[in-house]
Chain A
Amino acid sequence: MSTLTTWLRDPNPASRMQSRLGQSYLSWLRLRRNPLAMIGLLITAALLFVAIFAPLLAPHDPITQELGRRLLPPGTPGNILGTDDFGRDILSRILYGSRITLYIVLLVILTAPVVGLIIGTVAGYFGGWVDTILMRITDIFLAFPKLILALALVAVLGPGMENAVLAIALTSWPPYARVSRAETLTVRSSDYIAAVKLQGAGPIRIIWGHVIPMCLPSVIIRVTLDMAGVILTAAGLGFLGLGVQPPLPEWGLMISAGRKFLFEQWWVATMPGLAIFIVSLGFNLLGDGLRDVLDPKSASK
């Protein structure tokens, strides 16, 4: 172990990989000093764990109805968080719901940031009219009320998980384009880019191999900070009945089901909301910590 840390801390790295891993190790050390960020990391890890092992962890099936056991309060033996109006175990539904949440988040972060990254780097690298047109489009999308645009899109495409993901992705790429364009502008005229250009590299190679890596840290921070927003928007669409459809255990949908008897059986709406809150808070804490570590400019001293 100690040889590994000395290897990582070596001030004269022998290879590119060693230097990169060493940098990551130093970032990790800085992140570890931030207790809030570590809590965030823990929550995120727990979400992954629960989503993977949901069938093993859940005491009941999330879909099967058991009308004899409907609306039992929390603390009932066998149903720690109580049951909903169809007698389904709320804990099991929350555990399985983490899979849906994670699935939506993954789909969005695999599309929106990639689109934004490509648009932003191309606009920033080429400049001129390419930049003007691409950034004008970005500004138009940025000027939109996001949630309402997503609502209108889903209304047209029809409710459902895939369409909700599409609507969220279509409304969330512009900030990534902005961020990557700004980063591209700062590196575009650097000497090392000029050197690569003199060696005969084409624009695609330069953007892919030398510009995009420089944009990644800022984009990753934004992604982490945006994930909570994605979860909240997805839950909002589910709550309005426009996202994931019943009987799937989506958290927003579960809150909307519990709304009917909020004052009598408070737990049905409360529990899934707590799950959303904890998971979003986890992503926010982690994102906040990562920003301090990866982006020294905005670090709170």
Chain B
Amino acid sequence: MGRPFSMTSTPAPSSRLIPLLRQIGGTVVTLFVTFLGLLMVTFFISNVIPVDPVLSILGERATEAQMEEARERLGLNEPLWKQFGIYVGNTLQGDLGTSIRTREPVLEEVSQRFPATLELATLATILGVLLGVPAGVIAATKPGSFFDQSTRLIGLMGYSMPVFWLGLMGLLLFYGQLGWVGGPGRLDAGYQMSLDFELTQYTGMILLDTALNNRWDMFANAFSHIILPAGILAYISMAYISRMTRSFMMNELGQEYITTARVKGMPERRVIWVHALKNVMVPLITVIALSYAYLLEGAVLTETIFAWPGLGSYITDALMVADMPAVLGGTVVVGIAYIGLNMLSDLLYRLVDPRARV
């Protein structure tokens, strides 16, 4: 594969840099507008709730004067646009409200849960790329072959299975019947204790933390727990990545420079895995970022099945007890991660592909 992102051939003189900076500026503006849109929707959702927020905070025994005081304090007597302004200001300062269930700040709870989701989605994306890209490339070089047809069918099957059902079936087979993997949760109960007392938690991601602490026994246990949920998410991400790789690759192999390289007698292996793949990597970055963003979200149902203490199970747990500040706070955080990844892929695309620079 060599250096797929090698940029040595395209030095970036300052004349090229200025339009690029302008584009980045434009992207930041878009980012902010989208962020405002996200908050507008969550604000709208929180305002159409038929539940009186004051009532849920103070309880039914509060006097009318107390309720009025609370309304004033929460800014509920202000006009709607002003309330929205307060909401945006609070969110920008990291105040996502207070969970009704636990009385803790939502941001604090969410940031405790986030590493677990990040760990799951990252491992799944890595597996998905490692399987999906080669599968897509091979399928594109032999279109119509048995390999191509099977990849296509396996991919379509991935699109067609409810991820929560796949999770249950995985547990049934690999945990219940075969006993190959750890069950729900991030660690065995015994290790769960030593996690808090014996381990320095650098990142909150157990695989990294155990490795950094040199606790390889614990690493192995954590791995046996994460591999099934990560594998299931990786399957879905692989389905998407291999399909897109195939279509990009087909497109690339029809280009004239490929014919030239072949005519010059370059080995086919080099034509495909070096020349064509290098160019395919550019649109693939977008695809991988999108699939990563999707996994952050798709983890919701998987986390429920595997009792994975991440953001997704935080949101669904909060849903069950109608803890709306927690639900909306979690939604905002996932939304921001989602928007951020989209924008990042856009920027990377422009950086890597000189043609995308206007």
Interface of chain A: mostly helix, strand, loop or mixed: helix
Q: Mark A118-147, 1 if CB is under 8 A from B, else 0.
A: 000000000000000000110111011111
In the bound assembly, the distance between CA atoms of A197 and B293 in angstroms comes to 44
Would you call B348 an interface residue if the criterion is a C-beta within 8 Å of the partner chain's C-beta atoms? Answer: no
B176 touches A263 (CB 8 A): yes
B211 within 8 Å of A (CB atoms): no
Tell me whether B48 is interfacial, beta carbon within 8 Å. yes
Residue in contact with B319 in the complex, picked from A143, A149, A155, CB distance below 8 Å:
A155
B143 interface hit (Cβ, 8 Å): yes
Interface residues on A, range: 35 or more
- The reply to whether B159 and A262 contact each other, CB–CB distance below 8 Å, is no
Q: In the complex, how many angstroms separate the beta carbon of B41 from the nearest chain A beta carbon?
A: 7
Complex: how many Å from CA A149 to CA B328? 9
Choice from A145, A155, A229, A280 contacting B335 with Cβ under 8 Å: A145
Contact present for B143 and A300 (CB under 8 Å): yes
Asked whether B157 is an interface residue with its Cβ less than 8 Å from the other chain, the reply is yes
Contact string, A243-278, partner B, CB cutoff 8 A, digits 1/0?
000000000100100010011001001100100110
* Closest A residue by C-beta to B246: A300
Task: Flag if B164 contacts A255 (CB, 8 Å).
Answer: yes
B17 is an interface residue with CB less than 8 A from chain A: no
Given A263-B176, A273-B169, is A147 in contact with B298 using a C-beta cutoff of 8 Å? yes
By beta carbon, the residue of chain A nearest B296 is A145
Contact A255–B300 (Cβ < 8 Å): no
Q: A140-B41, A155-B319, A228-B160 are in contact. List 19 more A-B contacts (CB 8 A).
A: A143-B335, A143-B338, A145-B296, A145-B334, A145-B338, A147-B300, A148-B330, A148-B335, A152-B42, A153-B45, A232-B163, A255-B165, A262-B168, A263-B172, A273-B168, A276-B161, A281-B160, A284-B160, A285-B156
A-B contact pairs, 27 of them (CB 8 A): A136-B33, A139-B34, A140-B33, A140-B38, A144-B338, A145-B335, A146-B297, A147-B301, A151-B300, A151-B331, A152-B327, A236-B162, A240-B304, A240-B316, A240-B319, A242-B319, A262-B168, A262-B176, A277-B160, A280-B160, A280-B161, A281-B157, A284-B159, A298-B247, A300-B143, A300-B250, A301-B143
